[in-house]
Amino acid sequence: MRSRTLFPVLCIGLIFSLIFSGCSSDIDLDKEIATVNGEKITVEEYNFFLWNAKEQMALGASIEQVDNFWDTEIEGKKAVDVAKEKAMDAAISSKVQLQKAKEMGLSLTDEDLKAVREEKTHYVEHWGGLDGYNKLLDDIGITDKGFDKVLQDLKLAEKLYSKLTDKEEGFTITDEELKKYFDENVVRVKHILLLTETEDHTMPIPSNFKEEVKKQAEELLRRLRNGEDFDKLMYLYSQDTGLYDNPDGYLFEKNGEMVKEFEDAAFSLEIGEISDVIETVYGYHILKREDHTSDPKYFEQYKEKAWAGAAKAKYEKQIDAWKKEANVTVNEKVLEKIKVIDDTD
């Protein structure tokens, strides 16, 4: 099921971020937390990336985890420590990209700056006007001027990406690279969906009906486990309005295009495997992963989208190479002072 996220990563998880602020307010925002090739990363810059990392991680937290998410462990580390590591990596990645952009003579035009201002206006409106905007910046630990710089830096990094992945500038992805990317990063999935919302997704079904829908999904799963044909039950019972446009299933990458629970379940399956009952905002799903590599028609269908993903992956490898070449130092004493504060206390 397609994700219904309407705004880029800057906007998601707003409620979550209002519960948790970015850093301790007693740290000078201009203080050096790291350097990259002699150029400093300030606490203010780092605060933005920490908030952004937490927003992304919050998307993976269940409703039950929200109250104590930052005390949970991810591969033996507290979630907040993982977020801090992700934030530092993102801050370093941003800095090396900006340095490369400047080396290549890239800069923001008046048109670019106008686009940045319009983007900022969009965020201010989305965050509830100036009061909400200022409150959120305070929670994050960034000033209005600092946020302007973040948006400008993101725009410059975007220009670097566009230039380095421009076919007219000599960027290429071979058919072999593209096919390899498709084989390794795309899945094809069929599913049976029983809705727990109205078809236009504006009115949820009452809870007692929801329980009945879940029981129906569990009964369908029992029948599938007993050997009944998946396609037959899919055509008989699935309420997915996209079924007849996608009779062979959905082709997609793990990039947020689909809602998270659906995406995670799809990528956890082996080819031919059927999932348990999965709940999303749409309802209850039973997924079956199908082979997508044997028949060339699926590659041809997805080739254009795969190119974008492969280009991004190739660019990210270039960023990794730049980071390895960079002289990076981290001020651990300052980093240790960065804390997640519960505003509800």
Q: 314-331: string of b/e by CB count within 10 Å (b at 16+)? A: bbeebbeebbeebebeeb
Q: What percent of the chain has pLDDT over 70?
A: 86
Residue 342 lies in a domain: no
Within a domain: residue 124?
Answer: yes
* Residues 109 and 131 placed together within one structural domain of the fold: yes
Please indicate, yes or no, if residue 318 is contained in any of the structural domains.
no
Say yes or no: 21 and 156 in one domain: yes
Distances (CA, A) of 275 to 182, 283, 290, 342: 22, 15, 12, 37
In a domain, 219, yes or no: yes
Quick one: 224 and 263 in the same domain?
yes
Q: Which amino acid is at 339?
A: K
158 within domain boundaries? yes
Choosing from 164, 186, 219, the residue where a domain stops is 164
Which is higher by pLDDT, 169 or 341?
169
Q: HEC profile for the chain? A: CECCCCCCCCCCCHHHHHHECCCCCCCCCCCEEEEECCEEEEHHHHHHHHHHHHHHHHHCCCHHHHHHHHHCEECCEEHHHHHHHHHHHHHHHHHHHHHHHHHCCCCCCHHHHHHHHHHHHHHHHHCCHHHHHHHHHHHHCCCHHHHHHHHHHHHHHHHHHHHHCCHHHCCCCCHHHHHHHHHHHEEEEEEEEEECECCCCCCECCHHHHHHHHHHHHHHHHHHHCCCCHHHHHHHHCCCCCCCCCCCCEEEECCCCECHHHHHHHHHCCCCCECCCEECCCEEEEEEEECCCCCHHHHHHHHHHHHHHHHHHHHHHHHHHHHHHCCEEECHHHHHHCCCCECCC
CATH number at residue 278: 3.10.50.40
Residue 20 confidence (pLDDT): 42
Predicted pLDDT of residue 74? 80
Contact of 4 with 259, CB cutoff 8 Å = yes
Mean residue pLDDT of the chain comes to: 88
**185 and 229 together in one domain:** yes
Q: Is residue 139 part of a domain?
A: yes
Q: Which pLDDT score is estimated for 15?
A: 33
Q: How many domains does the chain contain in total?
A: 2
User: Is residue 130 domain-shared with residue 272, that is, in the same domain?
Assistant: no
| Structural tokens at position 84 | 């801090």
Domain of 62: which CATH number? 1.10.4030.10
Q: Answer whether residue 242 is part of any domain.
A: yes
Q: Do 220 and 140 belong to one domain?
A: no
Please tell me the distance from the alpha carbon of residue 1 to that of residue 190, in angstroms, as a whole number. Answer: 11
Domain of residue 111, residue span? 14-164
pTM: 0.78
Domain stop point among 114, 130, 164 = 164
Q: Is the same domain home to 133 and 222?
A: no
Instruction: Select from 281, 296, 311 the last residue of a domain.
Output: 296
Q: CA distances (Å), 233 to each of 224, 228, 236, 248, 266, in order?
A: 8, 8, 5, 14, 19
The predicted pLDDT at position 71 comes to: 73
Residue with tokens 């850093």: 23
| pLDDT in the model for residue 308 | 92
pLDDT at 4 over 50: no
Do residues 157 and 184 both lie within one domain?
A: no
Average pLDDT in the 241-250 region?
94
Distance CA 244, CA 231 (A): 12
pLDDT at 76: 83
In a shared domain, residues 187 and 62:
no
Task: Provide the 10 A C-beta neighbour count for residue 33.
Answer: 25
Rounded to an integer, what distance in angstroms lies between the CA atom of residue 8 and that of residue 17?
A: 15
Average pLDDT over residues 267-272: 97
Query: Is the CB of residue 310 less than 8 Å from the CB of residue 181?
Result: yes
| Separation CA 256–CA 275 (nearest Å) | 19
Task: Give yes or no: residues 150 and 249 share one domain.
Answer: no
Beta-bridge mates of residue 204: 197
Note whether residue 338 is domain-resident.
no
| Count, residues in the chain | 345
Q: What is the dihedral of CA 130, 133, 138, 143, to 10 degrees?
A: -80
Q: Identify the pLDDT of residue 78.
A: 83
What is the rounded distance in angstroms from the CA atom of residue 149 to the CA atom of residue 15?
A: 24
Nearest-angstrom CA–CA distance, 196 and 201: 9
**195 and 109 share one domain:** no
Residue recorded with tokens 């591969």 = 75
- The whole-number pLDDT of residue 265 equals 96
- Whether 32 and 91 map to the same domain: the answer is yes
